[in-house]
Every structure is written in C-alpha cells, then in structure tokens.
Homo-oligomer: A and B are copies of this chain.
Amino acid sequence: MSKRVYGQYCGFARALELVGERWALLIVRDLLVGPKRFSDLQRGLPKIPSNILTSRLKELEEAGIVQRRLQPRPSNGVFYELTEVGNDLEDAVMALGRWGAQRLGEPRPGEIVTEDAMVMALRTTFQPEAAGRTRASYELRLGDIVINAKVANGRASVVAGPLPGADLIIETGPAVRMLLAREVTPEQALKKKLVRITGDPKLLDRFVRMFRIG
C-alpha cells in the first residue's frame, strides 16, 4: 500500500490511499452491516479472488479500519469487524451509494443482488425528513434475500433477516429500484406485479416516501 501513493498532502488523497484500492470499499460496505467471517465476505462479494480479499483485509487492518476478532464458542473462527475509524466511513459510503443509485439503471446480465448491498441501499435511501413521526416496520423480500426496516423517531434501522410481525411485507425483485426512484407509483407497481404486499397498501406509499432514490 505504501507504493500506491498520490504524493499529495490532502485529506481526500489520503483517504483514497487508505480505502481507494479496488474492492476495499465494498468490503467496508459489507462490514458496515455487521461483523463477518472470511467466507461471509466471499459470499457477499462472489467475484473477489480469495487472495485479494486476504490482502485487502490485511491492508485495512494495518490502516486501523478493520480488526480481526477471534470468536470464542460457539461458531469458532475469525471475525472481521470495523473499528471506530472504519465505522466513520459510513457517511462517505452512503454519499457515494446515493450518487451511484441514481445512475443504476436496469440490472446488467449476470449482476447479482446481495443481502448486505440491499441493507446498505435502504439505509442510503432513507430520508429522515420524509419520515416525520412515522412508526412502521417492514419486511422486504427479494428472492431469497430477506431484510427488514424499522422506522421510528425519524430514524430507520435496517438489518438483515426476517421480521415476524412486520406491519408490511413487501415481496419484490430488482424492479424495486423503479419504485424507489419513483419511475412507477406504488399503484402501478402493484398492478404490474413488480411488487406483492401483505398488509395495508398505505404502508407501501409511506415506504416509497421514506426510502427513495434521487
């Protein structure tokens, strides 16, 4: 990493030296959702070669962004988690994600959706002002990916996994992007079967007001 240097005394350049390498910020993105083991990261980043993952993790660890933790029992093994410094990258990751989401377009052949990406996408698109005093919980299903979001007090908590008792269950696919980007209305999306819901349709209206692209 010491060779990949920009030669500028500048915070932004320094940031790129630390996390600008290929794959590095995607690893951070997944770790922002929660600690993970090596193989979890591989699953979330199917196209990363294992040697690259190894060296990125080592670099991120040396940079003080990630730390290894030996899990006791059960589930012995090594876990990787963000340090506080690493967690501070959240703002930057969300800002870039927000920008990218606006230019996402339709999925390209072979592109996959992962659980962590979806969690971060929802966190990224959350609009606190639009939430107001809303209090609602959602379970969002995309294929076999299930995540959930709880909105309260103008904040959203988005994590992986199902949420029994959610106010609304939304079943959808990659077309959910069109919904969040308001290229279709909730009505249209339901009619065109881009989404299927279990619960009060009004909660879907609220959802697209609180989580949106652009």
A binding-site residues for B, Cβ under 8 Å: 4, 6-16, 18, 20, 22-23, 25-26, 29, 45-47, 85, 88-89, 91-104, 107-108, 110-114, 117-118, 120-121, 124, 174, 213
Contact = CB atoms under 8 A, between A and B. Distances in A.
A120 B94 CA distance: 20
Given A25-B20, A91-B95, A174-B9, A15 B46 contact: no
A111 B14 CA distance: 11
Contacts of A10: 97, 100, 104, 113-114, 117-118, 120-121
B7 A111 contact: yes
Nearest to A125: B11
Most buried by B among A13, A120, A213: A13
Given A14-B104, A91-B95, 13 more contacts: A6-B23, A7-B110, A9-B104, A10-B97, A11-B104, A11-B124, A12-B100, A13-B117, A14-B101, A15-B100, A20-B25, A88-B102, A92-B95
